[in-house]
Structure 1
């Protein structure tokens, strides 16, 4: 059962998706799926290869930018900026709960200057995610 949450006109976040959710993603206009969950984090959940295969079978691009327990790096933020800028349509990012995906999107938005920290926080909250734990990072990236 898909739980795609809208962060912007072109960005959605979701808890773990299943191969069956790929059709709903396609119907929602998703053209890129970003997996923010490291393989093996939950052996019972679909792994990246399974989601990638299902996505590509219906013409959706796939990219893995795993966020583990070490947290976020500048490389991961840069990869997300690149993914968002290169997407030709809507992007769906997922992880266990959608929080890491939302956080990475928020950091990418701040780094690229696409939204102000206040706009980022409001959009995330509207989707049910609280970015206050990373607000100092958002503010720092936005100030650069």
Structure 2
């Protein structure tokens, strides 16, 4: 799992598998943000599968699906709200990590991220 750090409180990565969540917790992440809509690929785990494992591990979980090319300011505001409510570093993912990173940049440009 290759993780890209955007800030001390936010990082991104490519598609997570259910088994990856324990590694995320061990690395200190407290919130997982899923930016990938269910069903983009048949082999990806569903949001509910990831949410169940996150809950089992005591991780926060947010499902904020972003369809490629359809990101909005409301999506950026939602990410800001998730991060403001989190109690530690968040790891966001999508297929490659690019959408998650773009969403963070948009939220940052709009001044929606916690200090």
TM-score range, shorter chain: over 0.9
Instruction: State how far apart, in whole Å, the 2-side matches of 1:34 and 1:113 are.
Output: 16
Distance 1:41 1:26 in 2: 25
Number of residues of Structure 1 aligned to a counterpart in Structure 2? 114
Structure 1 distance, partners of 2:68, 2:8, is 29
Which stretches in structure 1 are left out of the alignment for 5+ residues?
Answer: 115-144
Which residue of structure 2 lines up, in the alignment, with residue 27 of structure 1? 26
CA RMSD of aligned residues (A): 1.5
In the alignment, what sits opposite 1:89?
Answer: 88
Shift of 1:25: 0.7
CA distance 1:113–1:50, change in 2 (3 Å): closer
TM-score, reference length from structure 2: 0.92
Deviations 1:11-42 (A, max 9, x none): 11000001111111101111111000000111
TM-score under structure 1 length normalisation: 0.74
How far residue 3 of structure 1 moved from its aligned partner, in angstroms, is 1.9
How far does residue 69 in structure 1 lie from its aligned partner after superposition?
A: 3.3
Q: Distance in 2 between matches of 1:91 and 1:105?
A: 11
Residues 68 and 99, structure 2, Cα contact 8 Å, conserved in 1: no
Structure 2 unpaired stretches of 5+? none
Higher helix residue share:
1
CA distance in 2, matches of 1:29, 1:56: 15
Pick the structure with greater CA Rg: 1
Select the structure with the greater relative contact order (CA < 8 A; seq sep ≥ 6).
2
SS in 2 for 1:30: coil
Aligned-partner Cα distance in 2 for 1:84–1:17: 19
